[in-house]
Structure 1
Amino acid sequence: MRRLSAILMLNILGIALFASWYLPENHGLWLRLDEGIFLYFNHYIAGSHAFAVLLAITNYRAFDLMSLLAMGLLYVHYFLRTPPQRRYQLISIGIVMLLSAVVLNQLGHLLPGSRPSPTVFFQNADGVVRVSQVTGIPTKDASMDSFPGDHGMMLMIFAAYMLRYFGGRAFACGMAILVLFSLPRVMIGAHWFSDIAVGSLSVVLVGLSWWLVTTASDKAVIWCNRRLPGERDRSYQGNINRN
């Protein structure tokens, strides 16, 4: 009953969050917040070449590997702290996490409300610049459909899995990774703030709650763990918290 209550609360929160963006004309207060954030950072991009170069580098496609590296290092940290006979369970959790991320990402794009990124929306506005034009670096600073934020959603899913299976400290590290690697997308104008704060988060709250709060993810981990080759401990106790 407690799990069902938690799931329903997360679903209500996710639906209400999306409705607060989708139902008002022109997205209501969210658009004002989005515009304010974009124009604030764009002002500094136009006034500082060094800042523009920094954003170009942190939004370059190859830089996405840094976020994968950060998540990988955090996961390896807990992997190495886990007894060898139980490490296959962490491999299974990793596989299940990747599969659920792919599924949620695809479902997220079924949401209504697709729109271009701020740099495309304001492309003819006076004083608005694009980092790729200012620096000459072919970075990711625009998108014809930025809602919901794919990158932010993947990072949120990782953080949620860290909370479910490794505890609060791991979740805090996952959230730090989320902020560190999703903020540059907003600062450069490749995403609106609400692409992540509404689009990504609402999908994760609704979709992942039915997966992680119930025993569904545990059953998937058990299924995967039993089918991986090799000799190891095939028992499973739910959380693997080594904090």
Structure 2
Amino acid sequence: MWRRNIPAILILNVLGVALFLSFYLPVNHGFWFPIDKSIFFFFNRHLATDAGFLHLVAVTNNRAFDAISLLAMGLLYLSFFLKQDNAGRRRYIIIGFVMLFTAVVLNQLGHLLPVSHKSPSLSFEGVNRVSQLTGIPTKDSSADSFPGDHGMMLIIFTCFMLRYLSKTAFVIALVITVIFSLPRVMIGAHWFTDIAVGSLSVVLVGASWWLMTPASDVLIHWLERKLPGKKNPNAVA
């Protein structure tokens, strides 16, 4: 019974709220700001001294590179999708739709948080800007970087892998999340806390109620009944 998950859901909610409040309540974000600042300047100073690192950061933050992260997620999902029969594949398509729906809703809710700030590349004077140093079109700034949209999408994907695929898929998705979230931090388009506090706190609260109760299953089962195609015989009515 899903009610056995209530203690875990409440713990995740407390963690999510506490994480956000640890950033929101203290003046200048308390201990988080020195962490954010040190991480930003650690990477930023290397942009001017290491040409290889500079161009790596430029390429991995180009809009076209976002397709690589989608490809990585898609290939992971495809590896499980192809093992299914026709009914199972239909269900996986529906799960993918529900995952996208979840990402859109949680992202919108995340932007209701009472925090708004510029990216670190716009918050300090005299910093290295990748687009200026290389001339490569790249995302090196944001007028409102909290919470991190890209990071939130990756974390939600990871949660769905654990809920509907396997622990192995979850671990691989976790690696994908770290790899493809890091470039935004390295270039200064996001503070570390945009992802580690903003994105994560929203997902801890929202995804726990969505995935650890029957809520997401109800939507999946409803779509299975309503959409045309052969239904999964193992699906719960």
TM-score (norm 1): 0.94
198-207 vs 217-226, greater mean Cα deviation: 217-226
Describe how 1:1-243 pairs up with structure 2 within 5 A. 1-122=3-124, 124-125=125-126, 128-236=127-235
Deviation, structure 1 residue 46: 1.2
Contact 2:121-2:141 within 8 A present in 1 as well: yes
C-alpha RMSD of matched pairs (Å): 1.3
Q: CA deviation at 1:95?
A: 0.7
Question: 2:216 and 2:233 mapped to 1: Cα distance?
Answer: 16
Q: How much does 1:232 deviate? A: 3.5
- The answer to whether the Cα contact below 8 Å between 1:49 and 1:134 also exists between their aligned partners in 2 is no
Partner Cα distance (1:234, 1:68) in 2: 30
Q: 1:170 to 1:237 in 2, by over 3 A?
A: farther
Instruction: Measure how far apart 1:9 and its partner are.
Output: 0.5
Letter in 2 for 1:86: G
Q: CA deviation at 1:50?
A: 2.0
Shift of 1:167: 1.8
Q: 1:104 Cα deviation (Å)?
A: 0.4
**Corresponding letter in the other structure for 1:222:** H
Counterpart of 1:191 in 2: which secondary structure? Answer: coil
Contact 2:59–2:138 (CA under 8 A) maintained in structure 1: yes
TM-superposition CA deviations, 1:135-166 (whole Å, max 9, x none): 11120000110000000000000000000011
Letter in 2 for 1:72: G
1:107 CA displacement = 0.5
1:179 & 1:165 partners in 2: Cα distance?
A: 21
**Shift in Å, 1:84:** 2.7
Gaps of 5+ in 2: none
Local SS of the residue matching 2:30: helix
Instruction: Give, in whole Å, the separation in 1 of the partners of 2:78 and 2:41.
Output: 39
> Is the Cα–Cα contact under 8 Å of residues 86 and 230 in structure 2 kept in the other structure?
no
Quote the offset at 1:237 in angstroms. 5.2
Query: What secondary structure is seen at the aligned counterpart in 1 of 2:13?
Result: helix
Partners of 1:193 and 1:29 lie apart in 2 by: 13
Secondary structure of 2:116's counterpart equals: coil
Query: Structure 1: 5+ residue runs without aligned partners?
Result: 239-243
For the 8 Å contact 2:141–2:189, the answer to whether it is kept is yes
Q: Is the 8 A contact 1:225 1:234 kept in 2?
A: no
- DSSP-derived class of the 1:221 partner: helix
Q: Which AA in structure 2 matches 1:183? A: L
3-state SS of 1:26 partner: helix
- Matching residue's letter, 1:160: C
- Between the aligned partners of 2:170 and 2:230, the Cα distance in structure 1 is 30
